[in-house]
Amino acid sequence: MSVATTNDTMPAPAASPSAKKARRTPAPQSSFAPWKDPNATPIVRFENVTKRFGSFVAVNNISLDIYEREFFALLGPSGCGKTTLLRMLAGFEKPTEGRIIVNGKDVTDLMPYERDAVNMMFQSYALFPHMSVERNIGFGLRQEGMPAADIDARVDEAMGMLELKQFAKRKPHQLSGGQQQRVALARAIAKKPRIMLLDEPLGALDKRLRQTAQFELMHIQESTGTTFIIVTHDQEEAMTVSSRIAVMDHGELVQVSTPGEIYETPQSQYVASFIGDVNILECRVSNVLPDGQLELNWVDGTGKFVAQPPPSGATKDQQVWLALRPEKVRIGLDRPATDVNAIPGKVENIGYLGSISHYHVAVGNDESVTALRANASLAVDNTINWENDVWLDWPADAGVVLIR
């Protein structure tokens, strides 16, 4: 599982090379999908990039294409290599092996200050403490030797975009965390890079501020048409802001897909459980039906399931895992009409969250399945309680068969 493919099994849409018209929307069926277009040239290309620190392999043979105007998220737990990958793109680390190509140019051996197309926003913000907000934002432009009047105009534009004008003369230590974060963003955006790198840009903000900042990031990304590459360990953040997500683990790409595909069709147990809640049932393929669907036998209990096969297919007697999102599992007191995709259980725990309730149901041999139910009506006649015997069932297209 060294290199995840970017869904090249999917058919390319009729016409989408007009990336200029395309607008980024998080919906899985977005018209903006240059990664599906075989003729599109990526703006960033990692070619078999490996980075070793001594004997530790931080990034292991990663190949990845990122396209213009994407909001691309590198997602994974700490130590998975996502920050190293970003720092190699910025030029702070040199790959041990492989090449990095930006905008058609090999930048592998270029120093950070020689990479004009790329600017980075740091996790610690890295503001210059001895400079005022406007001096901070203008720093990069002064390095270019831009005329003073042009610098002032660009700084003004960046400060306007991020609502920083009233803080122009302040020093960074006179600002709140949220304001510092905006200064750091403005300083990088003022350079008008083709590619903007963001290393956990909202990690230090509280939850409410973070949501506002997420939408601000999306707005700036759309209005400037810059390619954004963000490193985050927050799966909700990645789902919210990005056009595509690369899930990383131990220096490798596990899956690269849109947020919708990552959630609905994860390719491994790791991805399924990293993004959102999931029930995983270990099964064995008992039969491959004529229409291609798989018949599964549950290992930890008695139950017969039918599900769509994984893209790579599956054979009889193969060990597989059925991943079921809680909101796709129906819970009821009555036995469903069919025995397929239905298992009995006993309610162990109920988490009432107002709009929805989580039901933790004990099933099979000491297993547990979570089902989600919207509290849409006030009807009390079919209220499910603790210790109730219940039935769980789901449609054949609800589960995803995972082979690893």
Partner 1 sequence: MKGRMTWFNVTSVALGFAFLYIPILLLVIYSFNDSKLVTVWGGWSTRWYAGLLNNEELMKAAWVTLRVAVVSSTIATVLGLLAAIVLTRMNRFPGRTLFSGMVFAPLVMPEVITGLSLLLLFVAVGFDRGFWTLTLAHTTLTMCFAAVVIQARLYDFDKSVEEAAMDLGASPLKSFMQVTLPIIAPSVISAWLLAFTLSLDDFVIASFTTGPGATTLPMKIYSQVRLGVTPEINAISTLMIGVVALGVIVAALSQKRAMVRQQAETRAVDAGAK
Whole-number minimum distance, CB 180 to partner 1, in Å? 6
Instruction: Round to whole Å and give the CA distance between 46 and 66.
Output: 9
Instruction: Round to whole Å and give the CA distance between 280 and 328.
Output: 13
Instruction: Round to whole Å and give the CA distance between 206 and 214.
Output: 12
Contact track, partner 1, 109-148, x by CB under 8 A: --xxx--x-xxx-xxxxxxxxx--------xx--xx----
**With binding defined as CB under 8 A, does residue 204 bind partner 1?**
yes
Which single residue is written with the structure tokens 């973070």? 210
**Which of 257, 277, 273 shows the shortest CA–CA distance to 73?**
257
**With binding defined as CB under 8 A, does residue 92 bind partner 1?**
yes
**With binding defined as CB under 8 A, does residue 173 bind partner 1?**
yes
Distance of CA 206 to the CA centre of its chain: 20
The one among 25, 166, 176, 338 contacting partner 1 by CB under 8 A: 176
Whole-number minimum distance, CB 92 to partner 1, in Å? 6
Which single residue is written with the structure tokens 């009047």? 149
**With binding defined as CB under 8 A, does residue 174 bind partner 1?**
yes
- Which amino acid appears at position 231 of this protein? V
Specify the stretch interacting with partner 1 by CB under 8 A; choose among 97-105, 179-187, 327-335, 361-369. 179-187
Whole-number minimum distance, CB 211 to partner 1, in Å? 16
Cα distances (angstroms) measured from residue 181 to each of 169, 192, 199: 16, 18, 12
Tokens of 236: 């909700």
3-state secondary structure of 346: strand
Buried b (16+ CB within 10 A) or exposed e, 6-30: bbeeeeeeeebeebeebebeeeeeb
Contact track, partner 1, 260-299, x by CB under 8 A: ----------------------------------------
Q: Do 157 and 186 touch, CB atoms closer than 8 A?
A: no
Tokens of 276: 């959102």
Tokens of 400: 């995803």
If the CB atoms of residues 107 and 278 are measured against partner 1, the closer one turns out to be 107
Return phi, psi of residue 129, to 5°.
-65, -20
Specify the stretch interacting with partner 1 by CB under 8 A; choose among 168-176, 255-263, 315-323, 335-343. 168-176
Tokens of 9: 């099994």
**Which of 293, 278, 287 shows the shortest CA–CA distance to 324?**
278
If the CB atoms of residues 23 and 173 are measured against partner 1, the closer one turns out to be 173
The one among 73, 86, 88, 90 contacting partner 1 by CB under 8 A: 90
Specify the stretch interacting with partner 1 by CB under 8 A; choose among 55-63, 107-115, 249-257, 345-353. 107-115
**With binding defined as CB under 8 A, does residue 375 bind partner 1?**
no
**With binding defined as CB under 8 A, does residue 212 bind partner 1?**
no
The one among 7, 83, 84, 179 contacting partner 1 by CB under 8 A: 179
Q: Do 17 and 40 touch, CB atoms closer than 8 A?
A: yes
How many binding residues for partner 1 (CB under 8 A)?
39
Contact track, partner 1, 183-202, x by CB under 8 A: ----xx--x-----------
The one among 172, 259, 345, 364 contacting partner 1 by CB under 8 A: 172
Specify the stretch interacting with partner 1 by CB under 8 A; choose among 67-75, 86-94, 281-289, 351-359. 86-94
**With binding defined as CB under 8 A, does residue 392 bind partner 1?**
no
Q: What's the first-to-final CA gap in the chain, in angstroms?
A: 10
Cα angle 143, 145, 148; round to 5: 110
Whole-number minimum distance, CB 317 to partner 1, in Å? 53
The one among 177, 311, 313, 351 contacting partner 1 by CB under 8 A: 177
- Per CB under 8 A, residues contacting partner 1 are 90-92, 111-113, 116, 118-120, 122-130, 139-140, 143-144, 172-181, 187-188, 191, 204-206
